[in-house]
Each structure stands twice: as structure tokens, then as C-alpha cells.
């Protein structure tokens, strides 16, 4: 009897940590359909908000203002601690700094359910200069809407 109980408890414990639903590993995580369209719309709103200095519109895209959000140089440049929550510095540069237009290219979107990763090249152009960088974002679909949960980016001057 004790052995039977032990075997049953072992089986219950072994299966309780299994995923909610079994699924094969997909060959690709490329976003498609409604989700891809919604993520593309988020990216269009992103460049529109940045290019028109519409901070309020931009912040509707964020999960919160305290998400990890930083240039890579700021995130790794300061000694010790967590230096990845730099949205405030980005906000000041973009929405209080000199005007520029931003566009995206080489956009890659991967998705598994409510989690998506976007990587892209951004190009900022102003009357004084132009720069570019590579950006990665983690997105979460919450209540049917995609939100930016983290963003990291590099930056380089264009010749």
C-alpha cells in the first residue's frame, strides 16, 4: 500500500510541472496574421510618436515607464547595479531635444503566443545630423494589445 501511494505521488509530482498544453516545437517563430498586423501598427505608431514629439502617444505603447529601456552603452557603462531602466533619459532626449524623423528598416518579428521579439535598424534624420542604430524590443500581448516590455538599442553617427 505504501509503495503504491509513493508511486502515485511520484507520478502526480512528475506531471504537475509539465506545460499546460503539449505542443511540438515550431519550425519558425515568424509572426503572421492579426498579430503581425498589430505589431506592425505598434511600430508605425512608434515612429510617428517619436517623429512628431508626441510623448503621450508613445507612452501608450509601453507596458510601463519603468520597463528595462536603455542604450546599450548606458546599460553596461555604469559600474554595479541595474542600469537598464533609463526611459527617463530617452524621454528627455526624444521629446525635449532637437526634432528629428525616425524610420525603421530590416524589421524582424518573431512570436510565440503572447510574447514577441522585434529587432530592427532605426535611422534618425535631422537638419543637423543623421544617426542609426540597432534596436531590440520584447513585446507582450496583454488584453489583446501589444505593449513594449523592454527595449535596448545601439547608436552610431552616419558619415
Provide the Cα torsion 63, 38, 140, 42; round to 10°. Answer: -40
Of 34, 99, 87, nearest to 62 (Cα)? 87
pTM tops 0.75, yes or no: yes
Residue 84 to residue 18: CA distance in whole angstroms: 33
Q: Are the C-beta atoms of 20 and 39 separated by less than 8 Å?
A: no
85 φ, ψ (degrees, to nearest 5): -100, 75
pLDDT band at 3 (very low <50, low <70, confident <90, very high): low
Question: Tell me: the pLDDT tens digits for 21-42?
Answer: 788 999 999 999 999 999 999 9
Show the domains of the chain with their CATH numbers. 28-157 (3.10.450.50)
pLDDT at 8 > cutoff 70 = no
Amino acid at each position: 500500500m505504501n509503495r503504491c501511494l509513493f508511486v502515485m505521488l511520484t507520478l502526480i509530482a512528475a506531471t504537475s510541472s509539465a506545460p499546460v498544453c503539449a505542443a511540438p516545437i515550431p519550425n519558425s517563430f515568424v509572426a503572421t496574421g492579426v498579430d503581425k498586423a498589430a505589431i506592425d501598427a505598434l511600430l508605425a505608431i512608434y515612429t510617428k510618436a517619436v517623429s512628431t514629439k508626441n510623448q503621450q502617444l508613445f507612452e501608450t505603447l509601453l507596458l510601463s515607464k519603468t520597463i528595462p529601456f536603455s542604450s546599450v552603452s548606458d546599460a553596461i557603462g555604469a559600474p554595479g547595479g541595474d542600469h537598464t531602466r533609463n526611459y527617463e533619459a530617452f524621454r528627455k532626449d526624444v521629446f525635449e531635444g532637437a526634432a528629428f524623423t525616425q524610420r525603421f528598416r530590416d524589421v524582424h518579428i518573431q512570436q510565440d503566443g503572447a510574447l514577441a521579439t522585434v529587432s530592427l535598424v532605426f535611422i534618425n534624420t535631422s537638419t543637423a545630423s543623421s544617426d542609426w542604430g540597432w534596436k531590440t524590443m520584447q513585446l507582450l500581448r496583454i488584453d489583446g494589445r501589444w505593449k513594449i516590455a523592454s527595449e535596448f538599442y545601439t547608436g552610431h553617427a552616419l558619415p
